Amino acid sequence: MTRIEPIALSAEETEWIGLYLQKITTDQMQLFLAFVTGSTVLPAGGYDALKITIRKVASTVIAKDGLPQSHTCFSILDMPSYSSQEMLAKQFTTAIEW
């Protein structure tokens, strides 16, 4: 079995994700939650109880600027490197609205 080791997110990428989540609509946030966790609602404890892991993966797993992938059983979002904040937003939106 192949083990994929995640790559640390840069401070810039972490900021881009935060900005994306701040800018999306309530409906898109529900889609994002469903994409990552399999549920459109927050857990009983709200955002504080929400445990999502976002991992950056190598370009051999997901091509640069590609669509993110999720693992809903474990609330994990795997993302590639993105060339810009705009590309991250475009690809995240495409993935959640698919």
40 alpha carbon, distance to own chain's centre: 15
Q: Find residue 77's DSSP bridge partners.
A: 54, 70
Q: How confident is the model at residue 50, as a pLDDT?
A: 87
Write down the pLDDT at residue 2.
42
The pLDDT tens digits for 39-95 are 998 889 988 888 999 999 988 888 999 999 999 999 999 999 999 999 999 999 999
Read off the pLDDT of residues 1-28 as tens digits, 9 standing for 90 and up.
444 556 788 899 999 999 999 999 999 9
Our answer to whether residue 73 is catalytic in this structure is yes
Helix (H, G, I), strand (E, B) or coil at 77: strand
Please report, for the chain, the start and end positions of each structural domain, with discontinuous segments joined by +.
Answer: 11-97
Whole-model pTM?
0.87
User: Is the domain covering 11-97 a CATH 3.30.2410.10 domain?
Assistant: yes
CB 65 within 8 A of CB 59: no
Q: Which of 1, 8, 49, 73 is catalytic?
A: 73
pLDDT at position 60: 81
